[in-house]
């Protein structure tokens, strides 16, 4: 049976990732954060925001501060959730995986930033369905992730010797292929430099997609009565 990467991150690697990156999160600069830059470029002012894979809620706290929105963070790392509840009390926290989010309400904006490439492939389409379930009609979806021209499977170097990988691909594609999402914008970047870039290698090219959900508004009427 293939190794379940979601379980690995839930059991220990999510906490280890947070421990490795805690110091970098302390230096978070909202002025250069790609998801926040896209929000500003397109004048998004959501009332409710869900971030899946939110770490300790650092980005959501800034969105709450800027827009007075209700921010809900979904995160696998229990350590990140514990710290987030203390550090950012204005954010609501839920511990859970992307493929089974324990929430029922619909949100104006969902952010999934550099999360989908870690998800076990057996849970990818379930995660896509969960994101769609939780996004309101006419709501916006921000997906930040690697953006290679091809499908890449890369060994996860923090667990050397284990059959764990990251999967780099266009994660906007499943949503757009459904016909229920409209492409609004794409901000390209370079993962190594953490900055917008028109020139990045295949494995380092990144993108932040902004999509809007329309269930029927984009369908063309047909003269047929069937």
Is residue 54 within 8 A of residue 33, CB to CB? The reply is: no
Locus of tokens 């998801």: 35
Among positive and negative, which fits the CA dihedral 40, 43, 48, 49? negative
| Alpha-helical segments (H) within 137-223 | 173-177
Q: What is the pLDDT of residues 184-206, one digit of tens each?
A: 999 998 887 666 666 777 778 89
Q: What is the pLDDT of residues 132-175, one digit of tens each?
A: 999 999 999 999 999 999 999 999 989 887 888 999 999 999 99
Look up the CATH superfamily of 5-213: Vaccinia Virus protein VP39 (3.40.50.150)
User: What pTM was computed for the model?
Assistant: 0.93
81 contacts: CB under 8 Å, gap ≥ 6: 56, 73, 75, 93, 95
Burial of 139 (0-12, 13-18, 19+ CB in 10 A): buried
């Amino acid at each position: 049976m293939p190794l379940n990467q979601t379980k690995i991150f839930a059991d220990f690697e999510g906490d280890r990732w947070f421990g490795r990156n805690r110091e970098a999160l302390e230096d978070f600069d909202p002025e250069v954060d790609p998801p926040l830059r896209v929000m500003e470029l397109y004048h998004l002012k959501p009332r409710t925001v869900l971030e899946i894979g939110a770490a300790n809620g650092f980005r959501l706290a800034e969105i709450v501060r800027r827009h007075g929105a209700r921010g809900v963070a979904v995160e696998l790392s229990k350590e990140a959730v514990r710290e987030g509840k203390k550090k950012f009390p204005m954010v609501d926290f839920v511990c859970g995986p992307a493929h089974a989010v324990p929430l029922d309400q619909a949100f104006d904006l969902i952010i999934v930033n550099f999360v989908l490439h870690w998800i076990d492939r057996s849970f990818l389409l379930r995660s896509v369905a969960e994101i769609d379930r939780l996004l309101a009609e006419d709501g916006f979806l921000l997906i930040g992730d690697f953006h290679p021209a091809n499908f890449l499977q890369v060994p996860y170097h923090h667990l050397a010797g284990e059959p764990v990988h990251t999967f780099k691909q266009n994660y906007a594609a499943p949503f757009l292929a459904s016909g229920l999402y409209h492409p609004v914008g794409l901000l390209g970047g370079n993962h190594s430099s953490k900055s917008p870039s028109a020139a990045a290698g295949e494995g380092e090219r990144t993108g932040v997609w902004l999509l809007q959900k329309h269930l029927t508004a984009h369908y063309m009427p047909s003269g047929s009565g069937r």
